[in-house]
């Protein structure tokens, strides 16, 4: 059985009309040799390790990191401040949007090569703890940490939500690469926000297993949103989609605030 929705490898990112004017609130810092988008108050005592999707640093992902850090309004919301760290795992070579949706065998091969190459979780998972140590060393004021991922990044978050994890809480949005065994091993509160594109035959048993393994976990399906609606496929020109984008981040911030 496939472990991801077809939309994951068929739906391209949303290129926002008019170039979309947004000024990122964060900056870039190197941790363990890896460039990282860092945003939020230097006094925040709670950190979020954020794993983007395969398309990398789209403005929707950067804005999402800023929202996670301090909320959407100019003043912090009830969840309070977080400091967010989003490593640039794929550097200048994320998944090539020219291959989405794939129309030729060559494009399909390019997608498969990327997923089994740079995006292979086996290559990324070992990077997380050294990166986290470097972040802790430079940010000793942070007392507790969460990990969160989108699509591919959700797999990384799930794998770092198991026994002896340094993270207290975790999340994944419009998840992909779902394997039942991952859910059964989760030991911390974990929030899952699927889209309408996730495969019910995969997603529903995964959530059921998660809630047995970690009873404090939470899931809500955004039944009219596409796979990727909280990151590179977010359409800010569609008012309802934008509202649901913001609502997803509010759910995550509130959940993290409860357990961090």
The pTM (predicted TM-score) of the whole model is 0.91
Residue 73 pLDDT level (bands cut at 50, 70, 90):
low
**Per-residue pLDDT tens digits for 176-200:** 888 999 999 999 999 999 999 998 9
Q: Are 85 and 116 in contact (CB under 8 A)?
A: no
Given this model, what pLDDT does residue 251 score? 95
Given this model, what pLDDT does residue 80 score? 73
Nearest-5° angle of CA 123, CA 136, CA 211? 65
**Mean pLDDT of the region 69-77:** 65
CA distance 241 to 252: 17
- Judged by average pLDDT, the poorest of 54-68, 71-85, 159-173, 245-259 is 71-85
> What are the C-alpha distances in Å from 2 to residues 94, 139, 193?
23, 40, 19
**Per-residue pLDDT tens digits for 118-140:** 999 999 999 999 999 999 999 99
What domains are defined for the chain? 6-13+31-259 (3.40.50.1820)
> Has residue 100 got a pLDDT over 90?
no
Helices 152-159 and 121-138 pack at an angle, to 10 degrees, of 70
Given this model, what pLDDT does residue 7 score? 56
**Per-residue pLDDT tens digits for 200-212:** 999 999 999 999 9
CA distance 50 to 48: 6
Q: Are 3 and 183 in contact (CB under 8 A)?
A: no
Task: Tell me the two tokens of residue 35.
Answer: 């460039």
Given this model, what pLDDT does residue 98 score? 87
């Amino acid at each position: 059985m496939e472990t991801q929705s077809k939309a994951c490898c068929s739906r391209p990112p949303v290129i926002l009309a008019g170039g979309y004017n947004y000024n990122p609130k964060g900056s870039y810092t190197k941790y363990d040799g890896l460039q990282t988008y860092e945003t939020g108050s230097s006094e925040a005592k709670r950190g979020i390790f954020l794993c983007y999707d395969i398309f990398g640093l789209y403005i929707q992902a950067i804005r999402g990191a800023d929202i996670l850090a301090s909320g959407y309004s100019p003043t912090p919301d009830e969840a309070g401040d977080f400091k967010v760290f989003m490593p640039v795992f794929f550097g200048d070579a994320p998944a090539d949007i020219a291959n989405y949706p794939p129309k030729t065998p060559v494009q399909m091969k390019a997608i498969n090569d990327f997923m089994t190459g740079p995006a292979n979780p086996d290559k990324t998972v070992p990077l997380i703890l050294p990166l986290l140590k470097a972040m802790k060393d430079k940010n000793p004021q942070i007392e507790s940490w969460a990990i969160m991922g989108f699509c591919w990044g959700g797999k990384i978050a799930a794998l770092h939500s198991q026994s002896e994890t340094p993270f207290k809480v975790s999340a994944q949005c419009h998840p992909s690469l779902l394997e039942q065994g991952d859910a059964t091993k989760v030991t911390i509160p974990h929030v899952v926000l699927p889209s309408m594109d996730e495969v019910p035959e995969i997603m529903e048993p995964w959530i059921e297993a998660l809630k047995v393994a970690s009873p404090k976990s939470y899931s809500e399906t955004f039944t009219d949103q596409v796979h990727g609606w909280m990151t590179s496929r977010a359409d800010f020109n569609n008012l309802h989609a934008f509202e649901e984008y913001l609502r997803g981040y509010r759910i995550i911030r509130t959940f993290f605030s409860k357990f961090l």
